[in-house]
Amino acid sequence: MNDTLRMLEILNEGFPEIAQMEPLEARRQVDARARPTENVNDAVSEDSEITVHGQRIAIRIYRPVEGAKATGPITIYAHGGGFLHGSIDSHDSFCRTWVKGTGSTVVSVEYRLAPEWGAPAPALDVLGALEWVRAEGLATEVILAGDSSGANAVLVAALMLAERDLGDLKGLVLLYPFLDPERSLPSHQAYAEGYFITSRAIETYWRHYLTAPGSEQAQAWQINPLRADSFRQLPPSIVVTAGRDTLQDEGRAAYERMVAEGVPAIHHHFPDQFHGFMTIPGYRPAASGQQVLWSSFTNLFGREG
Q: Spell out the per-residue pLDDT of the chain, length 305, in tens.
A: 599 999 999 999 999 999 999 999 999 999 999 999 999 999 999 999 999 999 999 999 999 997 667 778 999 999 999 999 999 999 999 999 999 999 999 999 999 999 999 999 999 999 999 999 999 998 889 999 999 999 999 999 999 998 887 678 999 999 999 999 999 999 999 999 999 999 999 999 999 999 999 999 999 999 999 999 999 999 999 999 999 999 999 999 999 999 999 999 999 999 999 999 999 999 999 999 999 999 999 999 986 44
Q: What is the pTM assigned to this prediction?
A: 0.97
User: What pLDDT score was predicted for residue 210?
Assistant: 98
**In whole angstroms, what is the distance from residue 49 CA to residue 300 CA?**
30
Those residues whose C-beta lies under 8 Å from the C-beta of residue 79, and which sit 6 or more positions away, are 86, 87, 88, 90, 91, 108, 109, 110, 146, 147, 150
Decide: 16 and 85 in contact? Cβ < 8 Å.
no
φ/ψ of residue 70, rounded to 5: -65, 135
Decide: 301 and 73 in contact? Cβ < 8 Å.
yes
User: What pLDDT score was predicted for residue 1?
Assistant: 58
Map out the domains of the chain as residue ranges.
3-301
Radius of gyration of the chain (CA): 18
User: What pLDDT score was predicted for residue 83?
Assistant: 98
DSSP code of residue 228 = S
Decide: 172 and 155 in contact? Cβ < 8 Å.
yes
**In whole angstroms, what is the distance from residue 193 CA to residue 102 CA?**
35
CATH number of 3-301: 3.40.50.1820
